[in-house]
Structure 1
Amino acid sequence: MATRERRKLEKTLKPHWVWAIAFGSAIGWGAFVLPTDWIGQAGPVGVVLGLLLGAALMMIIGVSYGFLIEKFPVTGGEFAYAYIGFGRRFAFMAGWFLTLGYICIVALNASALALLAKFLFPDFVQTGNMYTVAGYDVSMIQIAIASLALIVFALLNIRGASFSGQTQFVFSLILIAGIVLLGIGAIMTDGPSVSNISPGFTPDQTALASILTILAIAPFAYVGFDNIPQTAEEFEFEPKKAFSLIIWSLLAAGLAYSAMILITASTMPWQQLLAMINDTQSVWGTGDAIESYLGRAGVFIIAVAVCMGIFTGLNGFYISASRLTFAMGRARILPDSFRRLHPKYKTPYVGILFTMAICLVAPWFGREALLWVVDMSSTGVAIAYFFCTATAYKFFRWSENSKAENEASTVSPGRKLLSLIGMISSIGFLVLLLLPWSPAALGKESYIALGVWIIIGIVFYLLNAKRYNEISRKEMNYLILEKEEI
């Protein structure tokens, strides 16, 4: 029998709140801040095709998530799935890389709020410039804005999952309304035109290279749908609904991204738009594009929408980072403090405060330096996707005559094929990111950041390995999965 205490989270989350956590986290600030950057890399049609193909591959990966959530509705997500399929060492690897990804995205969302303030109130935000990092001016005002957002959303998350879920749903509805209004404005006004989207791809590379460039960032663009398994222990509904929530959140995110790309590119010939942005050294090209046909009213609409995207990103990834570190603390690979629950709100508040503390350092290094780390974090997300799909692959058999990899395996050739495609897709994402000659390869700074994180992880594991590995298999099963036998 297990002897160690296993603390549990309360079941308070409704289905539409969970959908909003996934959708809002996947969209975040990226749909409103990055369109001109992506268009410059691949052309508008290349970006849309790359993002939609990425959403389709994420849905295939989502099949594995849906199955594992239904079978193991516990907090921890990929950490738990890697443990089931490959044991505790690989579970730590998946959890370590995913923790980095979640924390980086929290920090980047906070910095996006400072970027928005810099666009709306440039003179005010630039007062108190202190120094420059990688060509980006760091001011005291920007640091204060990002830090305030991090502190406020940490406190909101400590108040409980149900409060976070309700606010996330409201933020998501406002975000969608903002995109709809911008789309209506583009249709009804004179400036925007479909002809401005031509040429569909960047002239300096092939259409395939353009699509692959965007496809490689799909793990980053859609990271957020995997927040659903992180909250599985808190569902107040049947876990089998999780798969449909994953599919609907990815579909909505893919359409939202595509809409903002097409709206932005239609405002004027997109190569002219990019030239204008470069000439003026604009801090927010998408905002300039919207202002060109809707004026300050358009800036207000997109400012509200991007605020909602930032808020949903902060909220969603605070939830995920804290649940993941809670699960790892419960398994005794992180210090015991991570498995503590708030005495009043019953939330994993130590993980929330830990995430906040790490992220409060980020604004001092400037946005460009932070982007290097975030680019690298896509690697960690792809690794987590691989472990999930590979574990699901082990649970399915091609036929009755196939050799069973475990006693609980199910004959399901369709789902086994989809989990195999998910595994191949995850490896493909890693190849696109890590091979130097890939059109989407990481930059030198991102490789360095990745190496540093790996070294820190090795040191951290070695320091904690004795306690982690001395726990028996049955007891570890209980701590991670709430059952002694898998």
Structure 2
Amino acid sequence: MDGSLKRNISFFGLVSLGAGGVIGSSWIYTNSQFFKVYGAGGEIFGLLVASALAVLVSLSFAELSTIFSRSGGEVVYGYAAFGKKGALFAGWALLGAYLSILAFFVTASSLLISTIFPQIAIGPYYTFAGVRVHLTELAIGVSFTLLIFLVNYLGARLTGHVQIILFVLLVLLGLSLVVVGFVRGNASNFLPAFSSDQNKVSSVFRFILPAMTFLTGWESVAVMAEETNIPRKRIGLVVVLSIVIAAVYYCSVLLSSAWVYPWEKTATMQMGTIDAFKAAGFPILSIFAYMISFLGLATSFLSLFAAAPRLIFSLARGNILPKAFAKVHPKYGTPTNALWLVLALVLGLGWLGKGALVYFLDMGGFLIALAWSFSTFCLLKIRRKYPTLKGGFRNNHLVAPTAGGIIALAVALLTLVPGTPVSLVWPAEYIILAIWAVFGLGSYLIKRKDKTVSSDFLGSSFESIIDEKIDDRR
């Protein structure tokens, strides 16, 4: 049956979904490689700059999420601004990004476990892109994915509660690293923050691009706004707050690892912060850092797996995808068919294994940058089309969100230009992008003649504005 999603997510649950969705897994052990390439200063200060960019971009989401507190977030903003083409563009970009990251998580879970239990990477296997995928590793990833699916299927209330528990544990473990790192460490381990052969300004700005992939996930706040039980004006606050919390968490933990042990030595290790605390004489905290990587994986996985079906649900409710995907479970209030579709797509991509990890991350980063920039254009268009339409969060000036959107668009375009440090991999990633675009175009061509949308798609406040504009024209 079609129906309404249940308003079961609390303020703290929404914060946990937003900030927990951003704080992922790989950052805590890949900092050894990033320290080596960019220096500790390059990674930490670059992450701060990227966080500032994300905050600028989020200002558009923050305002629009309080005007349209509807499932799908940018799908609805795109429709209000540019019609069905805009809704499909926004939804397809975000959905492609989320599916790429979720498919990465299928393999990432077994990769983490294999660092302790390398024996799982033996036995029967197949090869993709020249990399072995052992069936035991795949089974672990599939099992973890099914567990995440089950939690989401049983309702937003359960998803929010589980996310709160995981997020609190994540914060407590991170706080223990930060306190011990700064109390027992020394500034001389961090300074100078760059090696002699690293250009300070260049290192900081070169890290902004990979840092953007660390900062994905806060968009889920706007995507799931319809299922919150908090005042609209606070939704916009949560959007921005999610990025700030995640940025502070990232930078504090990374800086503590560079404070407790010389970062240039950490740069020669395999597991970054995990190895740094162990080498500094804190084996328990090393285990805590490893636990953070698992909890970060779980919170990101849970948040994005909650958001992706809502994008499909919203596109279906807008009559852009088949209406069957707008079905809501009568008991749990979740978009069941959309959830099953996401599960099928994630597992269908996840079997590709470690050989496709670069594809997943590159595509996800490009599509996220595209979606971030589009939200700014939606805000500018809606401000002009509907000047009386206001939400609980409003930007007094549009300079900041516009700047964020332009920079995000520049990043997206840069990945399409061959020969740059962030270019997509030729030809595989260009082919994948083309296939995804063709599927989206096909959906639009099939549905373009049908102008109807569900009465729940945009919300009553926007429908009344449309009616007023029609009456004025008469």
**TM exceeding 0.5:** yes
> What is the CA distance between 1:326 and its match in structure 2?
0.6
Seen in structure 2, the aligned counterparts of structure 1 residues 204 and 362 have a Cα distance that, compared at 3 Å, is farther
> What is the CA distance between 1:33 and its match in structure 2?
3.4
> What is the CA distance between 1:232 and its match in structure 2?
0.9
8 Å CA contact 1:104–1:373 kept in 2: the answer is: yes
SS of alignment partner, residue 125 of structure 2 = strand
Give the alignment's Cα RMSD to 1 decimal. Answer: 2.6
**Could you say which residue in structure 2 is the equivalent of 1:482?**
459
| Cα offsets for 1:6-57 (capped at 9, x unmatched) | 7321111111100000000000214323322332332111111111111122
Q: Give the Cα–Cα distance (whole angstroms) in 1 for the partners of residues 254 and 440 of structure 2.
A: 41
> What is the CA distance between 1:205 and its match in structure 2?
5.1
**Could you say which residue in structure 2 is the equivalent of 1:269?**
262
- From 418, 425, 430, the equivalent of 1:444 is 425
Seen in structure 2, the aligned counterparts of structure 1 residues 420 and 346 have a Cα distance that, compared at 3 Å, is same
Q: Would you say 1:367 and 2:354 are equivalent positions?
A: yes
**Could you say which residue in structure 1 is the equivalent of 2:89?**
93
Q: Would you say 1:144 and 2:139 are equivalent positions?
A: yes
Moved more, 95-104 or 386-395: 386-395
Residue type matched to 1:420 in 2?
Answer: T
Q: Give the Cα–Cα distance (whole angstroms) in 2 for the partners of residues 315 and 456 of structure 1.
A: 24
8 Å CA contact 1:63–1:415 kept in 2: the answer is: no
* Runs of at least 5 residues in structure 2 that lack an aligned partner in the other structure: 467-474
Moved more, 28-37 or 223-232: 28-37
SS of alignment partner, residue 108 of structure 1 = helix
Seen in structure 2, the aligned counterparts of structure 1 residues 431 and 194 have a Cα distance that, compared at 3 Å, is farther
Residue type matched to 1:427 in 2?
Answer: L
Q: Give the Cα–Cα distance (whole angstroms) in 2 for the partners of residues 233 and 31 of structure 1.
A: 31
How does 1:349-388 map onto structure 2 within 5 Å? Answer: 349-388=336-375
Seen in structure 2, the aligned counterparts of structure 1 residues 93 and 359 have a Cα distance that, compared at 3 Å, is same
Seen in structure 2, the aligned counterparts of structure 1 residues 248 and 335 have a Cα distance that, compared at 3 Å, is same
- From 424, 435, 445, the equivalent of 1:465 is 445
**Could you say which residue in structure 1 is the equivalent of 2:168?**
173
SS of alignment partner, residue 351 of structure 2 = helix
Q: Would you say 1:103 and 2:99 are equivalent positions?
A: yes
**Could you say which residue in structure 1 is the equivalent of 2:409?**
427
How does 1:95-134 map onto structure 2 within 5 Å? Answer: 95-122=91-118, 124-128=119-123, 130-131=125-126, 133=128
Q: Give the Cα–Cα distance (whole angstroms) in 1 for the partners of residues 178 and 442 of structure 2.
A: 53
Q: Give the Cα–Cα distance (whole angstroms) in 2 for the partners of residues 229 and 85 of structure 1.
A: 16
Residue type matched to 2:91 in 1?
Answer: G
Q: Give the Cα–Cα distance (whole angstroms) in 1 for the partners of residues 365 and 280 of structure 2.
A: 34
SS of alignment partner, residue 478 of structure 1 = coil
Residue type matched to 1:40 in 2?
Answer: K
How does 1:191-210 map onto structure 2 within 5 Å? Answer: 192-201=185-194, 206-210=199-203
> What is the CA distance between 1:262 and its match in structure 2?
1.8
Moved more, 94-103 or 200-209: 200-209
Seen in structure 2, the aligned counterparts of structure 1 residues 413 and 141 have a Cα distance that, compared at 3 Å, is closer
Residue type matched to 1:442 in 2?
Answer: S
**Could you say which residue in structure 1 is the equivalent of 2:436?**
456
Q: Would you say 1:162 and 2:141 are equivalent positions?
A: no
SS of alignment partner, residue 481 of structure 1 = coil
* Runs of at least 5 residues in structure 1 that lack an aligned partner in the other structure: 397-403
**Could you say which residue in structure 1 is the equivalent of 2:397?**
415
**Could you say which residue in structure 1 is the equivalent of 2:42?**
46
| Cα offsets for 1:152-188 (capped at 9, x unmatched) | 1101110000110011011111001111112233245
Q: Give the Cα–Cα distance (whole angstroms) in 2 for the partners of residues 245 and 419 of structure 1.
A: 16
8 Å CA contact 2:107–2:141 kept in 1: the answer is: yes
Seen in structure 2, the aligned counterparts of structure 1 residues 78 and 450 have a Cα distance that, compared at 3 Å, is farther
> What is the CA distance between 1:299 and its match in structure 2?
3.3
How does 1:238-317 map onto structure 2 within 5 Å? Answer: 238-275=231-268, 277=269, 282=270, 284-317=271-304
SS of alignment partner, residue 21 of structure 1 = helix
Residue type matched to 2:256 in 1?
Answer: I
| Cα offsets for 1:200-255 (capped at 9, x unmatched) | 23655532322222212344221111111111111111111012212221111111
Q: Would you say 1:28 and 2:24 are equivalent positions?
A: yes
> What is the CA distance between 1:369 and its match in structure 2?
1.6
8 Å CA contact 1:25–1:223 kept in 2: the answer is: yes
Q: Would you say 1:77 and 2:73 are equivalent positions?
A: yes
**Could you say which residue in structure 1 is the equivalent of 2:335?**
348
8 Å CA contact 1:110–1:310 kept in 2: the answer is: no
8 Å CA contact 2:318–2:454 kept in 1: the answer is: no
How does 1:228-247 map onto structure 2 within 5 Å? Answer: 228-247=221-240
SS of alignment partner, residue 138 of structure 1 = strand
8 Å CA contact 1:394–1:409 kept in 2: the answer is: no
TM-score normalized by structure 1?
0.87
Q: Give the Cα–Cα distance (whole angstroms) in 1 for the partners of residues 395 and 229 of structure 2.
A: 31
8 Å CA contact 2:81–2:378 kept in 1: the answer is: yes
Seen in structure 2, the aligned counterparts of structure 1 residues 274 and 407 have a Cα distance that, compared at 3 Å, is closer
Residue type matched to 1:385 in 2?
Answer: W
**Could you say which residue in structure 2 is the equivalent of 1:59?**
55
| Cα offsets for 1:104-142 (capped at 9, x unmatched) | 2222233222122111122x2223262455565422221
8 Å CA contact 1:185–1:294 kept in 2: the answer is: no
> What is the CA distance between 1:328 and its match in structure 2?
0.9
Moved more, 352-361 or 62-71: 352-361
> What is the CA distance between 1:452 and its match in structure 2?
2.0
8 Å CA contact 2:63–2:395 kept in 1: the answer is: no
8 Å CA contact 2:92–2:440 kept in 1: the answer is: no
Seen in structure 2, the aligned counterparts of structure 1 residues 385 and 144 have a Cα distance that, compared at 3 Å, is same
8 Å CA contact 1:110–1:314 kept in 2: the answer is: no
Residue type matched to 1:249 in 2?
Answer: S
SS of alignment partner, residue 480 of structure 1 = coil
